[in-house]
Amino acid sequence: MKIEYMPDCSLDEIYQPVEIRVAFLSENDRQCHCFVKCKDFLSDILVHTFQDAPHVSVYKFNYDKREDEPLCLHTTRLLVEIPEDVDDSTIPRAVSLLNRLEQEMNVSLTTAKEVYGWKNRVFLFESDDVWQSSPTMISTYVSLIRFCAGNFDPNEGTIEEALRKGVEVQWREGEDDRETNLNNTDVRYIKEAIPVLMKLLTKDRISMAFDSFDYTDYDMRDVIHENCGLLSYAKGVTPWQRSQ
Protein backbone atom coordinates (compact mmCIF):
# COMPACT_ATOMS: atom_id res chain seq x y z
CA MET A 1 0.00 0.00 0.00
CA LYS A 2 1.53 3.30 -1.09
CA ILE A 3 0.48 6.46 0.72
CA GLU A 4 0.83 9.86 -0.93
CA TYR A 5 1.96 12.05 1.94
CA MET A 6 1.82 15.84 2.29
CA PRO A 7 4.69 18.00 3.55
CA ASP A 8 4.63 19.16 7.15
CA CYS A 9 3.24 22.61 7.89
CA SER A 10 3.78 25.13 10.68
CA LEU A 11 0.69 25.56 12.86
CA ASP A 12 -0.26 27.38 16.05
CA GLU A 13 -0.86 24.35 18.28
CA ILE A 14 -0.74 24.04 22.04
CA TYR A 15 1.79 21.80 23.74
CA GLN A 16 0.88 18.11 23.72
CA PRO A 17 2.85 15.84 26.10
CA VAL A 18 2.08 12.85 23.87
CA GLU A 19 2.92 14.17 20.41
CA ILE A 20 0.95 11.67 18.37
CA ARG A 21 -0.12 13.47 15.19
CA VAL A 22 -3.00 12.56 12.91
CA ALA A 23 -4.36 13.26 9.42
CA PHE A 24 -7.34 12.11 7.39
CA LEU A 25 -6.61 9.82 4.44
CA SER A 26 -8.66 9.92 1.25
CA GLU A 27 -10.29 6.96 -0.43
CA ASN A 28 -7.42 7.09 -2.96
CA ASP A 29 -4.74 6.78 -0.25
CA ARG A 30 -3.75 10.43 -0.38
CA GLN A 31 -3.19 12.43 2.79
CA CYS A 32 -5.92 15.09 2.95
CA HIS A 33 -3.99 17.67 5.01
CA CYS A 34 -0.74 17.97 6.94
CA PHE A 35 -0.30 16.05 10.19
CA VAL A 36 -1.75 17.84 13.22
CA LYS A 37 -1.50 17.42 16.98
CA CYS A 38 -4.70 19.34 17.71
CA LYS A 39 -7.71 17.12 17.01
CA ASP A 40 -9.98 20.18 16.80
CA PHE A 41 -8.69 20.79 13.28
CA LEU A 42 -10.37 17.51 12.34
CA SER A 43 -13.65 18.79 13.76
CA ASP A 44 -13.32 21.90 11.60
CA ILE A 45 -12.71 19.78 8.50
CA LEU A 46 -15.77 17.63 9.17
CA VAL A 47 -18.17 20.56 9.57
CA HIS A 48 -16.81 22.03 6.35
CA THR A 49 -17.07 18.69 4.54
CA PHE A 50 -20.46 17.43 5.68
CA GLN A 51 -22.38 20.68 6.14
CA ASP A 52 -20.73 22.90 3.55
CA ALA A 53 -19.51 25.44 6.09
CA PRO A 54 -16.87 27.90 4.82
CA HIS A 55 -13.41 26.45 4.18
CA VAL A 56 -11.22 25.97 7.23
CA SER A 57 -8.73 28.72 8.06
CA VAL A 58 -7.91 28.50 11.77
CA TYR A 59 -4.58 28.98 13.59
CA LYS A 60 -2.61 28.78 10.31
CA PHE A 61 -4.39 25.56 9.33
CA ASN A 62 -6.21 25.59 6.01
CA TYR A 63 -8.44 23.07 4.31
CA ASP A 64 -10.84 23.49 1.38
CA LYS A 65 -12.65 20.43 0.09
CA ARG A 66 -12.94 22.04 -3.34
CA GLU A 67 -9.16 22.28 -3.68
CA ASP A 68 -7.66 19.78 -1.25
CA GLU A 69 -7.89 16.00 -1.21
CA PRO A 70 -11.44 15.00 -0.14
CA LEU A 71 -12.11 12.81 2.86
CA CYS A 72 -13.32 9.24 2.55
CA LEU A 73 -17.00 9.65 3.44
CA HIS A 74 -18.01 6.03 4.10
CA THR A 75 -15.10 5.01 6.37
CA THR A 76 -13.08 6.89 8.97
CA ARG A 77 -9.53 6.65 7.62
CA LEU A 78 -6.95 8.23 9.88
CA LEU A 79 -3.17 8.27 9.61
CA VAL A 80 -1.62 8.14 13.08
CA GLU A 81 2.03 9.20 13.37
CA ILE A 82 3.87 7.69 16.34
CA PRO A 83 6.94 9.54 17.71
CA GLU A 84 9.96 7.63 18.97
CA ASP A 85 9.10 8.09 22.64
CA VAL A 86 5.70 6.38 22.29
CA ASP A 87 5.70 2.62 22.83
CA ASP A 88 4.69 0.31 19.98
CA SER A 89 2.07 -1.32 22.21
CA THR A 90 0.00 1.87 21.90
CA ILE A 91 -1.48 0.71 18.58
CA PRO A 92 -2.85 -2.73 19.56
CA ARG A 93 -3.99 -1.24 22.87
CA ALA A 94 -5.93 1.48 21.03
CA VAL A 95 -7.50 -1.02 18.64
CA SER A 96 -8.60 -3.24 21.54
CA LEU A 97 -10.15 -0.32 23.42
CA LEU A 98 -11.94 1.03 20.36
CA ASN A 99 -13.22 -2.45 19.50
CA ARG A 100 -14.73 -2.88 22.97
CA LEU A 101 -16.55 0.42 22.60
CA GLU A 102 -17.61 -0.36 19.02
CA GLN A 103 -19.13 -3.66 20.13
CA GLU A 104 -21.29 -1.70 22.57
CA MET A 105 -22.21 0.70 19.77
CA ASN A 106 -22.98 -2.15 17.35
CA VAL A 107 -20.78 -0.72 14.57
CA SER A 108 -17.94 -2.17 12.53
CA LEU A 109 -14.63 -2.72 14.31
CA THR A 110 -11.48 -0.65 13.90
CA THR A 111 -8.40 -2.11 12.27
CA ALA A 112 -4.90 -0.65 12.13
CA LYS A 113 -1.84 -1.45 10.05
CA GLU A 114 1.54 0.12 9.60
CA VAL A 115 2.10 2.06 6.40
CA TYR A 116 5.40 3.31 5.07
CA GLY A 117 7.10 6.13 3.23
CA TRP A 118 7.05 8.78 5.97
CA LYS A 119 9.94 9.97 8.15
CA ASN A 120 8.33 8.55 11.32
CA ARG A 121 6.25 5.44 11.99
CA VAL A 122 2.67 5.76 10.76
CA PHE A 123 -0.33 3.51 11.20
CA LEU A 124 -3.55 3.64 9.22
CA PHE A 125 -6.66 3.32 11.36
CA GLU A 126 -9.80 2.35 9.45
CA SER A 127 -13.06 2.54 11.37
CA ASP A 128 -16.79 2.90 11.06
CA ASP A 129 -17.91 6.29 9.76
CA VAL A 130 -19.71 6.88 13.08
CA TRP A 131 -16.41 8.28 14.39
CA GLN A 132 -16.64 11.15 11.89
CA SER A 133 -20.36 11.74 12.32
CA SER A 134 -19.85 14.84 14.49
CA PRO A 135 -17.07 17.06 15.87
CA THR A 136 -17.44 15.46 19.29
CA MET A 137 -17.12 11.94 17.94
CA ILE A 138 -13.88 12.59 16.06
CA SER A 139 -12.49 14.34 19.14
CA THR A 140 -13.37 11.28 21.24
CA TYR A 141 -11.82 8.93 18.69
CA VAL A 142 -8.46 10.70 18.66
CA SER A 143 -8.43 11.15 22.44
CA LEU A 144 -9.00 7.42 22.94
CA ILE A 145 -6.13 6.58 20.60
CA ARG A 146 -3.70 8.93 22.33
CA PHE A 147 -4.93 7.83 25.76
CA CYS A 148 -3.62 4.37 24.90
CA ALA A 149 -0.02 5.59 25.02
CA GLY A 150 -0.32 4.72 28.71
CA ASN A 151 0.58 1.20 29.82
CA PHE A 152 -2.72 -0.39 30.87
CA ASP A 153 -4.82 -3.37 29.80
CA PRO A 154 -7.86 -2.19 27.82
CA ASN A 155 -9.52 -5.59 28.25
CA GLU A 156 -9.30 -5.70 32.05
CA GLY A 157 -12.65 -5.55 33.81
CA THR A 158 -15.51 -3.47 32.48
CA ILE A 159 -14.86 -0.70 29.97
CA GLU A 160 -15.18 1.89 32.72
CA GLU A 161 -12.77 -0.04 34.94
CA ALA A 162 -10.23 -0.26 32.09
CA LEU A 163 -10.51 3.47 31.44
CA ARG A 164 -10.09 4.30 35.11
CA LYS A 165 -7.01 2.08 35.26
CA GLY A 166 -5.62 3.89 32.24
CA VAL A 167 -6.14 7.19 34.02
CA GLU A 168 -4.57 5.84 37.21
CA VAL A 169 -1.31 4.82 35.54
CA GLN A 170 -0.94 8.12 33.67
CA TRP A 171 -2.36 10.77 35.99
CA ARG A 172 -0.68 12.45 38.93
CA GLU A 173 -2.88 15.08 40.53
CA GLY A 174 -1.24 18.50 40.65
CA GLU A 175 1.84 17.50 38.68
CA ASP A 176 2.96 18.54 35.22
CA ASP A 177 5.75 16.12 34.39
CA ARG A 178 6.64 16.50 30.74
CA GLU A 179 9.39 13.91 30.95
CA THR A 180 7.07 11.03 31.79
CA ASN A 181 3.97 12.33 29.99
CA LEU A 182 1.97 12.59 33.21
CA ASN A 183 -1.06 14.86 33.26
CA ASN A 184 -1.21 14.72 29.47
CA THR A 185 -4.09 16.49 27.81
CA ASP A 186 -6.03 13.47 26.56
CA VAL A 187 -5.79 11.66 29.90
CA ARG A 188 -7.46 14.67 31.50
CA TYR A 189 -10.17 14.60 28.83
CA ILE A 190 -10.88 10.90 29.35
CA LYS A 191 -10.80 11.33 33.13
CA GLU A 192 -13.50 14.01 32.91
CA ALA A 193 -15.55 12.12 30.33
CA ILE A 194 -15.70 8.63 31.88
CA PRO A 195 -19.06 9.26 33.64
CA VAL A 196 -20.76 10.30 30.39
CA LEU A 197 -18.76 8.47 27.71
CA MET A 198 -21.15 5.58 27.14
CA LYS A 199 -24.11 7.99 27.00
CA LEU A 200 -22.30 9.87 24.24
CA LEU A 201 -21.40 6.75 22.28
CA THR A 202 -24.69 4.89 22.56
CA LYS A 203 -27.29 7.67 22.63
CA ASP A 204 -26.29 11.30 22.18
CA ARG A 205 -24.08 10.64 19.15
CA ILE A 206 -27.24 10.11 17.09
CA SER A 207 -28.82 13.46 17.99
CA MET A 208 -25.59 15.42 17.56
CA ALA A 209 -24.63 13.84 14.21
CA PHE A 210 -24.36 15.97 11.08
CA ASP A 211 -27.62 14.63 9.67
CA SER A 212 -29.46 15.66 12.87
CA PHE A 213 -27.88 18.93 14.01
CA ASP A 214 -26.81 22.02 12.05
CA TYR A 215 -23.37 23.26 13.08
CA THR A 216 -23.15 25.94 10.40
CA ASP A 217 -24.88 28.52 12.61
CA TYR A 218 -21.81 28.56 14.87
CA ASP A 219 -18.49 30.32 14.42
CA MET A 220 -15.77 28.00 13.16
CA ARG A 221 -12.99 29.29 15.39
CA ASP A 222 -14.77 30.34 18.60
CA VAL A 223 -17.33 27.52 18.79
CA ILE A 224 -16.61 24.60 16.46
CA HIS A 225 -12.88 24.56 17.14
CA GLU A 226 -13.05 25.47 20.83
CA ASN A 227 -16.30 23.97 22.16
CA CYS A 228 -17.18 20.80 20.28
CA GLY A 229 -14.63 18.34 21.67
CA LEU A 230 -14.89 15.55 24.20
CA LEU A 231 -14.06 17.77 27.17
CA SER A 232 -16.73 20.29 26.13
CA TYR A 233 -19.25 17.44 25.96
CA ALA A 234 -18.23 16.27 29.44
CA LYS A 235 -18.83 19.82 30.69
CA GLY A 236 -22.17 20.07 28.87
CA VAL A 237 -21.23 23.07 26.73
CA THR A 238 -21.23 21.77 23.14
CA PRO A 239 -23.62 23.61 20.77
CA TRP A 240 -25.95 20.61 20.67
CA GLN A 241 -26.13 20.41 24.47
CA ARG A 242 -26.73 24.14 24.81
CA SER A 243 -29.57 23.88 22.28
CA GLN A 244 -31.49 21.29 24.31
Give residue 84's domain range.
Answer: 21-243
How many H helices and E strands in the chain? 10, 6
- Please report whether residue 98 resides in a domain: yes
Contacts of 244 (CB under 8 A, 6+ apart): none
As to burial, measured by CB atoms within 10 angstroms (0-12 exposed, 13-18 middle, 19+ buried), residue 99 is: middle
What SS3 class is residue 176?
A: coil
Domain count, the chain: 1
- Please report whether residue 2 resides in a domain: no
* Residue 43 confidence (pLDDT) above 50: yes
- Please report whether residue 93 resides in a domain: yes
Express as a percent the part of the chain with pLDDT over 70.
Answer: 95
- Please report whether residue 59 resides in a domain: yes
6 phi and psi, to 5 degrees? -105, 150
Q: How far apart are CA 91 and CA 113, in angstroms?
A: 9
- Please report whether residue 106 resides in a domain: yes
- Please report whether residue 132 resides in a domain: yes
- Please report whether residue 99 resides in a domain: yes
pTM for the whole thing? 0.95
Averaged pLDDT score across all residues of the chain: 92
- Please report whether residue 117 resides in a domain: yes
71-127 residue pLDDT tens: 999 999 999 999 998 988 999 999 999 999 999 999 999 999 999 999 999 999 999
Extended beta strands in the chain, E state = 21-24, 56-58, 61-63, 75-82, 111-115, 121-128
Q: How confident is the model at residue 172 (pLDDT cuts 50, 70, 90)?
A: low
175-220 residue pLDDT tens: 555 444 445 688 889 999 999 999 999 999 999 999 999 999 999 8
